[in-house]
Structure 1
Amino acid sequence: MIQTQIKTFSELTSEELYSILQLRSEVFVVEQDCVYQDIDGKDDKALHVLGIKNQKIIAYSRVFKPGDYFEYASIGRVVIAKNQRAFKYGYDLMKTSVEAVETYFKEKTIKISAQAHLKSFYNNCGFIEFGEEYLEDDIPHIAMIKK
């Protein structure tokens, strides 16, 4: 089990921010061999969901209110450290992320841009795909929604 915390950008310590950016870079840039601009100027608008195990951030997502990323509330940058994926912490992270949308923004409808190979994981979290697959940073993605 992981401990989860929800923080605004200004509540993050410099150590937490460094750990988050390191984890995102480790997975989205290095592991997925994808050169893209991870630091996109939107972190200051997001709520940050931290998954902590043994005092280390091993899971993360960011959550947006409607209009800050998509027309609906959204969850993005969902990431689990590679050596922690076998423990299925993604489900704990997504549960907390969905609860954050409901609690902080009083919203039920959530839109995500999911990597296509993770479609069944997000289906298990209550999201349904819509539209065609598309490339985002040369990785196949699919729009998904939870109502």
Structure 2
Amino acid sequence: MNWETYHFDELTASKLYDFLKLRVDVFVVEQNCPYPELDGLDQGSVHLAYTENGQTLAYARLVPAGIKYELPSIGRVIVHPSARSRGLAKELITKAMDYIVAEWQANEIQLQGQVYLQNFYESFGFLPISDAYDEDGIPHVDMKFTKNKM
């Protein structure tokens, strides 16, 4: 398995293209949700990805505290359609949380999850901190993980 983290300035044009293509293919095309995928947060974020045979199969964007939220956050959580049901989503969230706690010394993590994934995120200790709301035509909920509540 090949899990890697990248700061924006470490990304090659090819790697950045792979990440953005996967995000657009799933979030915009598969979910039929036109929204501003390029939101200005990539440059200050850490990009966590799993690559196999040269193809990005799992990806998440880790946003430091103070950029999107007061807390560090996990976003753009995605598993390539061809790699679903292999446990990569669980590994992805675990690695994202481990990175944020270890590298950023964070005790809390926030995310904006699609409502249908709320139970999945709750299995990692995230709890809802908002009611469900519409974000670009898809129901979402804000959630927060607190380290000492595990």
TM range (shorter): over 0.9
Alignment of 1:32-43 (within 5 A): 32-43=31-42
Alignment partners' CA distance in 2, 1:64 and 1:127: 17
Letter in 1 for 2:5: I
Letter in 2 for 1:130: I
The residue aligned with 2:54 is: 55
The residue aligned with 2:85 is: 86
Q: Contact 1:6 / 1:50 at 8 angstroms: preserved in 2?
A: yes
- Please state how far the C-alpha of 1:3 moved relative to its aligned partner: 2.1
Residue segments in structure 2 that go unaligned for 5+ positions in a row = none
Alignment partners' CA distance in 1, 2:66 and 2:37: 20
Q: Contact 2:74 / 2:110 at 8 angstroms: preserved in 1?
A: yes
Q: Contact 1:6 / 1:100 at 8 angstroms: preserved in 2?
A: no
- Please state how far the C-alpha of 1:127 moved relative to its aligned partner: 0.9
SS at match of 2:69: coil
Letter in 2 for 1:68: I
The residue aligned with 1:143 is: 142
SS at match of 1:69: coil
- Please state how far the C-alpha of 1:124 moved relative to its aligned partner: 1.4
Matching of residue 15 in structure 1 with residue 20 in structure 2: no
Superposed CA offset, 1:18-41 (max 9, x none): 000000001000000000010111
- Please state how far the C-alpha of 1:65 moved relative to its aligned partner: 1.4
Number of positions where the alignment pairs a residue of Structure 1 with one of Structure 2: 146
SS at match of 2:129: strand
- Please state how far the C-alpha of 1:130 moved relative to its aligned partner: 2.2
Alignment partners' CA distance in 2, 1:130 and 1:44: 27
SS at match of 1:132: coil
Superposed CA offset, 1:89-122 (max 9, x none): 0011111111111122110200100000011111
Alignment partners' CA distance in 1, 2:64 and 2:84: 27
Q: Contact 1:127 / 1:144 at 8 angstroms: preserved in 2?
A: yes
The Cα RMSD (Å) is 1.0
SS at match of 2:78: strand
Report the TM-score when normalising by structure 2: 0.94
Alignment partners' CA distance in 1, 2:50 and 2:124: 17
Alignment partners' CA distance in 2, 1:136 and 1:20: 22
Identity %: 33
Alignment of 1:125-144 (within 5 A): 125-144=124-143
